Amino acid sequence: MAGPRVEVDGSIMEGGGQILRVSTALSCLLGLPLRVQKIRAGRSTPGLRPQHLSGLEMIRDLCDGQLEGAEIGSTEITFTPEKIKGGIHTADTKTAGSVCLLMQVSMPCVLFAASPSELHLKGGTNAEMAPQIDYTVMVFKPIVEKFGFIFNCDIKTRGYYPKGGGEVIVRMSPVKQLNPINLTDRGCVTKIYGRAFVAGVLPFKVAKDMAAAAVRCIRKEIRDLYVNIQPVQEPKDQAFGNGNGIIIIAETSTGCLFAGSSLGKRGVNADKVGIEAAEMLLANLRHGGTVDEYLQDQLIVFMALANGVSRIKTGPVTLHTQTAIHFAEQIAKAKFIVKKSEEEEDAAKDTYIIECQGIGMTNPNL
């Protein structure tokens, strides 16, 4: 099984945890031994953090692989994958490290397992610098399922910064192959909806204020649509710790989904949190793409594995996306072409087409 190791420089481009997630997932899927050096070398706290470590350990356990150098602060790991197996797997960041990022690294792998999987992911469900679980369920899930699989995501407990303590259970069955996707027709926005939440000791008024401020902000730009943002008090038994935040989603006539989200922080007033999410959504609607800036990079690995040519239309290509493409080309040998959209309606906008000839990965176990 083990050929020469794939060597990855963890300090280039995005230079963070994403390089680790993409390269270890692809290494696991393709059975390629891997060495990642200079992990998060340029970050203020270089090397592995708890959430990266739990992600690596999970991938190791998914395939009974070998992992060396995996400890907090380590800047170099080697990983030797074996056969991917299904069953129950647990990953616990023991911090507010994001369960959504754990899902990002493990999901492509368990699609090519020998049997169905149940992933118990523990940490932050609504954490900074990562997708909120609501984004994963409301935006990522319906779009990624276009590749030809379904997964179930059961939010047991929500957990917030700084303690985490949330738990999500993801269930999915393996597939033989992934279908390519073609997301190039934007359509027009048909509805806007969302949820503004408070958890723990925060007053319900905060949720109502975030929602109201967000609606006012969207109204200035989009007048003819009803904007339905539900204020929510998270039930005491389903949330650990204190937190507040908002996610707003725009849906189009062709089934595209865009989001803006924001989390409350100590000392930041509720209106500001709502406005930040609304402005993020509006910015994502201006560029004419079919995916928002956060979905962009999350689709790259699936495009690389799919059997055929996938196309997505995006706004400006983010550094995260460029990074994912770079490693999907280096490790999986998928071929990507990124070019400016030539359609007339996009002429004045910063709109791109990301095209990928996938490698047509087949599940050896099915």
pLDDT of residue 58: 97
**pLDDT tens readout for residues 214-264:** 999 999 999 999 999 999 999 999 999 999 999 999 999 999 999 999 999
**pLDDT tens readout for residues 111-121:** 999 999 999 99
Is 68's pLDDT higher than 80? yes
pLDDT of residue 202: 96
Band of pLDDT at residue 347, cut at 50, 70 and 90: confident
**pLDDT tens readout for residues 73-102:** 999 999 999 999 999 999 999 999 999 999
With a pLDDT cut of 70, the percent of the chain lying above it is 99
Burial 133-153 (b: 16+ CB within 10 A, else e): bbbbbbbbeebbebbbbebeb
Band of pLDDT at residue 109, cut at 50, 70 and 90: very high
pLDDT of residue 212: 98
Is 159's pLDDT higher than 60? yes
pLDDT of residue 39: 98
Domains, the chain, in order of start with CATH, read 6-183+291-359 (3.65.10.20), 189-285 (3.30.360.20)
CB 43 within 8 A of CB 65: no
Q: Which positions are catalytic?
A: 320
Binding site residue list: 104, 294-298
pLDDT of residue 2: 55
Name the token pair of 61: 């356990």
Q: How many CB atoms lie within 10 A of CB 70?
A: 17
Binding site residue list for ATP: 104, 294-298
**pLDDT tens readout for residues 263-322:** 999 999 999 999 999 999 999 999 989 999 999 999 999 999 999 999 999 999 999 999
Average pLDDT of the residues in 15-23: 96
pLDDT of residue 4: 84
